[in-house]
Amino acid sequence: AQKVTQAQTEISVVEKEDVTLDCVYETRDTTYYLFWYKQPPSGELVFLIRRNSFDEQNEISGRYSWNFQKSTSSFNFTITASQVVDSAVYFCALRETGANSKLTFGKGITLSVRP
């Protein structure tokens, strides 16, 4: 069965610090998709990034970067020079292919960025 583990539950940093959010997943599929979502204090879920299992290229988007490593089943998310607006709950999620194709979430990491 698929599983997503976000071992960190809460992280607190001071503004401008870099922070890495860890995500480890389990799946038996060879083709799968990984996602990161952000949930700000207002409560909505905001899609950040999707990664296909056959594409291990890391990605950078502004202050955000993602490190996908199949060898360690990890898909970590780094925020560089954090800002107060980055304060949110961040979820990593996994979706397998096939008939069920359910999206499984980790328990989330609460990030607090202090000014």
Tokens 């979820």 locate to: 91
Buried b / exposed e across 21-31, counting CB within 10 Å, b at 16+?
bbbbbebeeee
Among the listed residues 80, 85, 90, 12, the one whose alpha carbon sits nearest the alpha carbon of residue 48: 90
68 near other proteins (CB under 8 A): no
Please list every residue from 6 through 35 that binds other proteins, using CB under 8 A.
6, 9, 33, 35
Going by C-beta distance under 8 Å and a sequence separation of 6 or more, which residues neighbour residue 100?
Answer: none
Tell which one of 20, 30, 52, 72 touches other proteins (CB under 8 A): 52
Sign of CA dihedral 112, 60, 22, 32: positive
Smallest gap from Cβ 32 to other proteins, in A, equals 9
Task: Determine the size of the site formed for other proteins (CB under 8 A).
Answer: 23
Question: Token pair for residue 102?
Answer: 């359910």
- Rule CB under 8 A: say whether 107 interacts with other proteins: yes
47 binds other proteins (CB under 8 A): yes
Q: For tokens 């905001």, what's the residue?
A: 46
Q: Does 104 bind other proteins (CB under 8 A)?
A: yes
Nearest distance from C-beta of residue 108 to other proteins, angstroms: 5
List contacts with other proteins (CB under 8 A): 6, 9, 33, 35, 43-45, 47, 50, 52, 91, 95, 97, 99-108
